Structure 1
């Protein structure tokens, strides 16, 4: 069943179950079991062995520890511990009280979160987790639902990182472009030049970022998001108290009453400086000729996050130990911090497992082959690459995996058919990959955005989905225009106008519905 239409079934089954049951672990588990059965033609013993092997290889592969995965999981635990100490020392409470005096409105709290998401552009993982830690005390005080906070985090992290050349994503993409251009004999562009030219063509990243500010300023809450926001405003509960969410420490222990703002700011600054410094060091160590681009192309993100996490926990621990009569026992803080991250880790582990199943079934290759075999007008290529990349990222839960599969195909097809469509098609792959990633419950970035916000994961997926589709509609129009006219800036302006018009229309319809 590998590489056929049947390879789509486990991914589709998992997605449908997630939306119908809202039980993410159950849905992922069923998807894994069905996928393993497909791989081994319903031989139960072999399927069980497949599942065990996939789980085992998350931690140990090719005779050695899988340090990348272990370090990322360790960082999540460290993040939970740091968050626990920020609350125990009273830093989170003090920061919230300070910001509530300076940021007077819910709109201001939301805009500040969006701005933080754009400023922290080095890496999507780091963005998702750091912005959540900084913004959560403020948004909680202004009764902004955690689902909405997760949306702001997710819809700024990947979009800003995918259009920034000085980021882990940008460096990776530029490296891919270099090999693609060499393989296809493309001499019209240098990789960095091509990446810069593709920024205004990445219509989804641009419209998603514009939409974030429209949602903040226009109070553009509709669909499932409206329910969460209404509940938060009316009851003050930013998350359903009956749901277990990562990072929720509200009733675990009492905060220290003499806590100060620096108890929160210093550990987070240590986290930022420690992580970025480690990224630079690991990038230099892995580069033959260290330049800004090669450093970020070769940096070890997971190791850097782990180093930053250890340093930030040590800083927070020192503050806790220096406080007189701490309200919470240090060991209890460690325990509660670790415990709050376990739901996110369970989801991430199962997401990695189903991702491996989907890779073995060659789901992505099947979708890619459909494009490669189709006889279509070159003018439609950017639009179609956007849609196919979106479907692939939705099914597989990985933007980077989709980049790796679809960018070579887009380059190969456009070089043969119409060179004018090369950069628009490559940009469409990047845009579609981020769109699908935003819609996928098994995307690691989506999972970490829920974690950073302390939101229920499925609440985040369901509330973000309609907004992601809005940005995708505006992007699709942009890709159709650039395909038919080759006018980049016309398509760019039209896509911006469309997303603003859609935002204003939804706001008007929402107000009309409320008034009626």
Structure 2
């Protein structure tokens, strides 16, 4: 039990700390190095407020460092001053600044697209092609995939637009809420262009710095984790299976059978519909799908172009000569993308998409320059919470690194933790934390720095090296990112779960109760067919088909015909 307790202790980093200082602190403080992450996690459970929890976690660490050389009361002042210095230092780092800017800018692009009515137009286009209950569910699923760039946008846009269609074909509000929720965070978490990717690649980069690797391409690692995001992929496939096979189980079966009689709601009170009216397009404006498609294509294509040239400028010597001689080969793309500065590339593409979206909106007389800028800034404001979490996570990580927490944990656990257990344990603990706190972001920030140093040490002690060790690291990183999404997906206090209920016009408790069996079932498939077999050496390209087959069998033999 003690081993599993230690498995979910940690956070992230931003400053260069002398390894000798970290090693000395780890030896000096011993088990006390665990205080900051324990404080952050325990407070997150108690208060349900990840920002307050991270702040106090940072302060406990700065106080601990200060008290070694100062008095009890003096350390309070020095600890507070140290927090300010670490936050400022985090913002001053060029990589972190790029991450902050691209997260804010993508938030602005999302707001502009919404204001222009582009996403609504695409949704209406999809809804007109729904002819049956199956096509209504699949159209909702496709719409959820289309709004891949942000989970909040997904919950607030898809529900109100698709609700009349699913109502028409007697699909229960619980099923609609489930489809919305299951295509919000799961798709945003694996999309290579989204409001999530900045946080995820930042955590990966900082986690690798904890083990002394500073030249890693975090975006490349992020892309490599996508096939290992078992819960995300299996859940997205599960929705399609239930729709086409017409089978459900648990509370959802009762809800769907009730809906077929014309009673779309349960007898409980209904949720109030929620839409962001300030971003609604003006009345009389022609809704055009191109208002969303054009800026998003610019964002995606611009990101790929930026990655290519950013990486090309970073190449030197023989690698540069090969890339110049053969600019469009797979090897060249691999080298350029592997050496690109993701934070700058994503910011550049987001800024270009912003300019295109503003120009398009003005050209089509949707809004004035002033209104466009105000909308863009409003989009930035929606991302402030993400930025605050990032800054505190970076600060907490710098404290963790200086205290030598990861070194202490690795020395204690690396020789005794079986490599097959670690990915599943990280996934489960990530799920538990995010379920209890209702936040994926905070869970990733708290847990990621543990998974990377611990996976590295456990892998090395298990005899892994080279590509095998790298693959094992990827599995554990994906376990953090996916476990955080699973717990958040079925948490009753999660903001996306609440927004999905509201967007679907569904009673919130009904949504949670009907979704929980589905989430737990896919969680079990992810662990038993995904993380554990892959940890034993099974190829990911065998694990994925087996997982999809397991999902089909689950729906076929556990589910019943509606």
Q: TM-score range by the shorter chain?
A: 0.5 to 0.7
1:76 aligns with 2:76: no
| Structure with bigger RCO (C-alpha 8 Å, 6+ apart) | 2
Larger Rg: 2
Give the conservation status (yes or no) of the 8 Å contact 2:36–2:60. Answer: no
In structure 2, the residue matched to 1:86 is 116
Map 1:353-372 → 2, pairs under 5 A: 353-358=392-397, 360-361=399-400, 368-372=410-414
In structure 2, the residue matched to 1:382 is 420
In structure 1, the residue matched to 2:348 is 307
**TM-aligned CA deviation for residue 470 of structure 1:** 3.7
Taking the aligned partners of 2:302 and 2:467, their CA distance within structure 1 comes to 43
CA deviations over 1:84-119 (Å, ceiling 9, x no partner)? 5423xxx344333322212444312233246658xx
Taking the aligned partners of 1:253 and 1:420, their CA distance within structure 2 comes to 51
**TM-aligned CA deviation for residue 471 of structure 1:** 3.4
Aligned pair in 2 of structure 1 residues 429, 253: CA closer, same or farther (>3 Å)?
closer
How many pairs does the alignment contain? 444
Unaligned 5+ segments in structure 2 are 1-28, 65-71, 167-175, 193-198, 214-219, 324-331, 434-441, 489-493
**Among residues 28, 36, 47, which one is paired with 2:59 in the alignment?**
36
TM-score by length of 1: 0.65
Map 1:280-291 → 2, pairs under 5 A: 280-288=308-316, 289=319, 290=323, 291=332
1:48 aligns with 2:75: no
1:152 aligns with 2:157: no
In structure 1, the residue matched to 2:527 is 476
**TM-aligned CA deviation for residue 438 of structure 1:** 1.8
CA deviations over 1:439-497 (Å, ceiling 9, x no partner)? 577xxxxx9999x99999xx9xx899876654342233235556779698886666445
Taking the aligned partners of 1:285 and 1:102, their CA distance within structure 2 comes to 46
Taking the aligned partners of 1:360 and 1:275, their CA distance within structure 2 comes to 33
CA deviations over 1:271-320 (Å, ceiling 9, x no partner)? 22222221222122222324221222122223222222222222222233
Taking the aligned partners of 1:242 and 1:53, their CA distance within structure 2 comes to 43
1:411 aligns with 2:459: yes
Taking the aligned partners of 1:407 and 1:436, their CA distance within structure 2 comes to 16
1:344 aligns with 2:376: no
Taking the aligned partners of 1:299 and 1:474, their CA distance within structure 2 comes to 35
Aligned pair in 2 of structure 1 residues 502, 156: CA closer, same or farther (>3 Å)?
same
Taking the aligned partners of 1:76 and 1:83, their CA distance within structure 2 comes to 11
CA deviations over 1:347-401 (Å, ceiling 9, x no partner)? 332244135315623665565455413165xxxx223333136647967515875
Taking the aligned partners of 1:453 and 1:306, their CA distance within structure 2 comes to 29
Map 1:7-22 → 2, pairs under 5 A: 7-17=36-46, 21=48
Give the conservation status (yes or no) of the 8 Å contact 1:439–1:465. Answer: no
Map 1:91-490 → 2, pairs under 5 A: 91-104=118-131, 105-113=135-143, 128-129=149-150, 140-143=160-163, 148-149=179-180, 151-158=182-189, 204=231, 207-214=234-241, 248-249=276-277, 254-288=282-316, 289=319, 290=323, 291-323=332-364, 326=366, 328-358=367-397, 360-361=399-400, 368-374=410-416, 376=418, 381-388=419-426, 391=429, 397-398=444-445, 401=449, 404-415=452-463, 425-426=472-473, 428-439=475-486, 469-478=520-529, 479-480=531-532
Aligned-residue CA RMSD (Å):
5.4
Give the conservation status (yes or no) of the 8 Å contact 1:86–1:263. Answer: yes
Aligned pair in 2 of structure 1 residues 353, 318: CA closer, same or farther (>3 Å)?
same
Give the conservation status (yes or no) of the 8 Å contact 1:82–1:312. Answer: no
**TM-aligned CA deviation for residue 32 of structure 1:** 1.5
